[in-house]
Amino acid sequence: MTEIATRPAAPAGHRGALAGIRVVELGFAAAGPLVGKYLANFGAEVIRLESRLAADVFRTTYPPFKDGIVEPDRAGMFAFYNDGKRSATLNLKHPKGVALARALIGTADVFVESFTPGTVARLGLGAETLRAADPGLIVLSSCNQGQTGPHAFHPGYGSQLSALAGFVQLLGEPDSTPVLLYGPYIDYVAVGYGAIAVLAALERRKRTGVGCTIDLSQYEAGLQFLTPTILEFAANGRIPGRLGNADLVAAPHGVYRCAGRDRWVALSVWSDAEWRDLRALMDIDGPATAAERRRARVALDERIGAWTATRDRDLVVTLLRRKGIRAAPVLSISELFDDAQLAHRGMWPAVTHPTIGEMHLMAPPFRLSSTPSVQDRPGPTVGADNDHVFGEILGLSLDERSTLQRDGVFE
């Protein structure tokens, strides 16, 4: 593996853009917790409250686990999705657990939760209750379909919600069955919008002193990315569907097989001049105008594919880029860790996890020049920061803590 470049060194005295902001988080899997990850990467103190009695599915269920051993502190997913955070354990079925959670949230600027609607309210940690005590608090509730409405309580997860919202319908060959977006795609859309919503509320609080209760439906967030398909249907009565790799403008525009096993190149032609260069390079025929080329797509794709099929992928990319034609290798996941451009941006910061060992985190895809992100800690082990949270922040003595421990409050 190539040396992973570090992100720009933080300037002396750099505390992160969000230093001084405390976030308390209750949630599971990706959609809620990744909001906290981004805030932590830029210096917020993010405290994940969790319980051994009802652990995050990323700790208990979703592989991969280090060496295949299913234990909460060997869970790769949790370590990857929760970097930079602290972990404190609280049993929220115990009244003293709830009181401590409330006290901790009372010291925080932001509370993020991603349970089924109504869950935190039943625990006594609903936004109304919390903000009655602390009007400046910002509460983000992120869930599948929002806090209200006939489907609010319907369970769901990102991969399937991506299908409902219409992303899946747009992926695949025309007139063939759709294929999956690999992961819980829509969750990550909601993560970005969730973090944006929290930051917008923090900005408003600076001016007004008033907090905010944010109801984020992952479904509604995802639909923002599909606005043109909605407008196209409403305006023109057509339901946008799968186009394979065709484009409404560029032609040729596709993914072509190269020499070797499962090696592919992506390329697109956006002007007649680029097309002339491509024709000359590959020594192939085809019409001069884009409209004609779009109609001749199948034949052109075959001719280009025949040329690329016997050539090395990276060589093809180099030849095309030398001509100024847009082209890129279809990188596999393992290749992403070796990609020079991503490495230059420090996309995969290396850290050592106490149980998992050497592993890589994911950097934010935007770099801030003066207050860069810092990623030096993987997701915490269960309860790693109990002393800090209950001792230093909440001021409980050792005696008090051991009594609570005995009573099962920290389970």
Query: H or E segment at 254?
Result: strand 253-257
Smallest separation (angstroms) from another protein to the CB of 338: 11
Query: H or E segment at 353?
Result: strand 350-353
What is the Cα–Cα distance from 87 to 24, expressed in whole angstroms? 10
Sketch the per residue contact string, 332 through 351, with another protein: x for CB under 8 A, - otherwise. Answer: xxxxxx-xxxx-xx-xx---
Q: Which residue has the tokens 């399937």?
A: 160
Smallest separation (angstroms) from another protein to the CB of 240: 6
Give the up-direction half-sphere exposure of residue 236: CA atoms within 13 A in the CB hemisphere: 8
Closest CA to 60 of 47, 49, 73: 73
Our finding on whether 239 is near another protein (CB under 8 A) is: yes
Our finding on whether 103 is near another protein (CB under 8 A) is: no
Catalytic-role residue among 73, 109, 187, 301: 187
Sketch the per residue contact string, 174 through 193, with another protein: x for CB under 8 A, - otherwise. Answer: ---xxxxxxx-x--xx--xx
Q: Which span (92-100, 223-231, 384-392, 399-407) binds another protein, by CB under 8 A?
A: 223-231
Our finding on whether 307 is near another protein (CB under 8 A) is: no
Our finding on whether 381 is near another protein (CB under 8 A) is: no
Smallest separation (angstroms) from another protein to the CB of 107: 19
Which residue lies nearer to another protein by CB, 96 or 337?
Answer: 337
What is the Cα–Cα distance from 290 to 300, expressed in whole angstroms? 12
Our finding on whether 259 is near another protein (CB under 8 A) is: no
Which residue lies nearer to another protein by CB, 358 or 399?
Answer: 358
Which residue lies nearer to another protein by CB, 346 or 390?
Answer: 346
Q: Which of residues 17-76 bind another protein (CB under 8 A)?
A: 17-18, 21, 30, 38, 42, 57, 61-66, 68, 70, 76
Our finding on whether 105 is near another protein (CB under 8 A) is: no
Query: H or E segment at 395?
Result: none
Q: Which residues pair with 26 in a beta bridge?
A: 113
Q: Where are the beta strands (DSSP E) in 12-143?
A: 22-26, 45-50, 86-89, 110-113, 138-143
What is the Cα–Cα distance from 256 to 313, expressed in whole angstroms? 9
Q: Which of residues 129-168 bind another protein (CB under 8 A)?
A: 145-157, 159-161, 163-168
How far CA 13 is from CA of 42, 227, 366, 367, 369, in Å, comes to 14, 43, 21, 18, 14
Instruction: State yes or no: is 283 an active-site residue.
Output: no
* CB 107 within 8 Å of CB 49: no
Q: Which of residues 2-21 bind another protein (CB under 8 A)?
A: 17-18, 21
Active-site residue list: 187
